[in-house]
Amino acid sequence: MAEEAILGYLENHEEISDSGEFAAARGIDHAEIVNVIKSLHGFRFVDAQDIKRETWVLTEEGKKYAAEGSPEVQLFLAVPAEGSISKDELQKKINPGIFKIGCAQAGKNKWVEMGKNISRKVQHVEDQVKDLLLRIQDDKAIGKDDINSLKARKLIVLQTWKGYSVRKGPNYAPKRKKPATDLTRENLQRGDWKELEFKEYNFSAKGPPPECGHLHPLNKVKDRLKDIFRQLNFEEMPTNRYVESSFWNFDALFQPQQHPARDSHDTFFLQVPSTTRQLPEDYVELVKQVHESGGYGSRGYAYEWKRDEANKNLLRTHTTAISSRMLYALAQHAKEQAFTPKRYFSIDRVFRNEAVDRTHLAEFHQIEGLVCDRGLTLSHLIGILEDFFSRLGMSKLRFKPAYNPYTEPSMEIFSYHEGFGKWVEIGNSGMFRPEMLRPMGFPEDVSVIAWGLSLERPTMILYGIDNIRDLFGHKVDLTLMKKNPLCLIGIR
Ligand code: PHE
């Protein structure tokens, strides 16, 4: 309506000199007229010039008196026409704010006699203040002295009014055609597509945020790591089993049955089903022998190995349980056909019964890589670790001798963290022991180099998260998923 009014008016008139008067004359809200003018101006249908006017508007107090009457008149009316009224009585009849101002003004106007008792001095008064306020409310002019007195009583204030004067613009037309935004099936069928004016593309407009799922930082880092492993020709191991037997998690890895990690402080054992159903019996026998009395140049642990202990089901404490299964299968293949060198990796969840704090959770993710080939040495391990970690952006590495039941030698991996200004431990590694590999059936000259690290550690460093509970678990703020940036490691 506002748009038609403006464009229609300009068809026969040179200009709209004042948008405020224009709006008032047509009973259209000025704010609406202003919006339309801005839009028409933007598309150059019209040229608009700012106009400013200072007008007097009522203050809150002024509005009140305009509606209810001035305090002096309210007070006057509360004084009886005949006789007098005590101050206390009068005060009860009108509210205290009105009373005070009313007394002062009515006294000044000589409308009332102010003494101990109050009485009228005149019989009739006009509410001039109210009338003046109403005139201002209606945009009507009032005299200078009246303005000054109302201003002094803080009943009116000056406000800058903003409007426009409007003339035809270069694109003026008596009607604005809404440009089409879509070419529809109906447009094609009717043939009106030929006449349609299309809205221009705004290539710098932001698209709406997609209403879709978002990847967790752990998944982003995991995907990048998978790419790195694949670039290095590693195959992913199937890790889709959280429940594992103690046998594959510990025994096959030459981890003695009294090892502290096996005890329930670190391991979640299963109640149902509490034991595994089957294990490869020939191999179990060889594992028992190596634990009890050694072999392949080892003395073993010299204790009585118990099958019951190996049968116990648990939530895997490391993904090395999967590595032991995969290596066993590879060794069987070597016995039956031929030995094939392999590079394997996995990234998946593991479980440990630990006290939860800002760097530990009872479940986390491990990244694990291994290479199985003839004639591998510690240099190969160092070489592949340097290659792997440099792709994660960590090119300064140091190694420290360590102990794992299943690797010898073993090395902890440290990287220099520029941000922290110190060496931080980033992983664990080693060469799998013959006590692990030989019972599986690998030829003597086959060795396996392997390493493992947590996925949480690099993710927290990359995303600047210092409390693991902000990354994983029930306390995570879900907007983290929507807002976290891309993971760029490994992209060159
Ligand atoms: N399994 C080890 C851990 O839980 C990591 C590791 C993997 C160490 C392979 C050596 C070789 O920390």
Q: What is the pLDDT of residues 5-64, one digit of tens each?
A: 999 999 999 999 999 999 999 999 999 999 999 999 998 999 999 999 888 999 999 999
Q: Indicate if the alpha-carbon torsion angle 114, 118, 121, 127 is positive or negative.
A: positive
Confidence bin at 460 (pLDDT 50/70/90): confident
Q: Is residue 466 in a domain?
A: yes
- Quick check: ipTM above 0.90? yes
Same domain as 280, residue 411: yes
Same domain as 262, residue 164: no
451 lines ligand 1 (CB under 6 A): yes
254 lines ligand 1 (CB under 6 A): no
Residue 264 pLDDT > 80: no
Among candidates 235, 421, 427, 443, which has minimal Cα distance to 335?
443
Whole-number Å distance between alpha carbons of 463 and 423: 19
* Dist. CA 387 → ligand 1 center (Å): 18
For the chain, the first-to-last Cα distance in angstroms comes to: 59
Structural contact between residues 440 and 327, judged by C-beta atoms closer than 8 angstroms: yes
By most ligand atoms within 8 Å of CB, the mutation choice from 248, 262, 366 for ligand 1 is 366
* Dist. CA 427 → ligand 1 center (Å): 8
Q: Range of 38's domain?
A: 1-58+158-168
Same domain as 221, residue 164: no
Structural contact between residues 176 and 54, judged by C-beta atoms closer than 8 angstroms: no
pTM listed for this prediction = 0.61
Same domain as 164, residue 301: no
Q: Is residue 311 in a domain?
A: yes
Count: domains in the chain: 2
Q: Is residue 110 in a domain?
A: no
Q: What are phi and psi of 240, to 5 degrees?
A: -75, 55
Burial class (CB in 10 A: 0-12, 13-18, 19+), 84: middle
Q: What does the mean pLDDT of the chain come to?
A: 92
Among candidates 353, 45, 333, 356, which has minimal Cα distance to 178?
45
Sheet containing 46-58, strands listed edge to edge, beginning at the edge strand earlier in sequence: 15-16, 156-168, 46-58
318 lines ligand 1 (CB under 6 A): yes
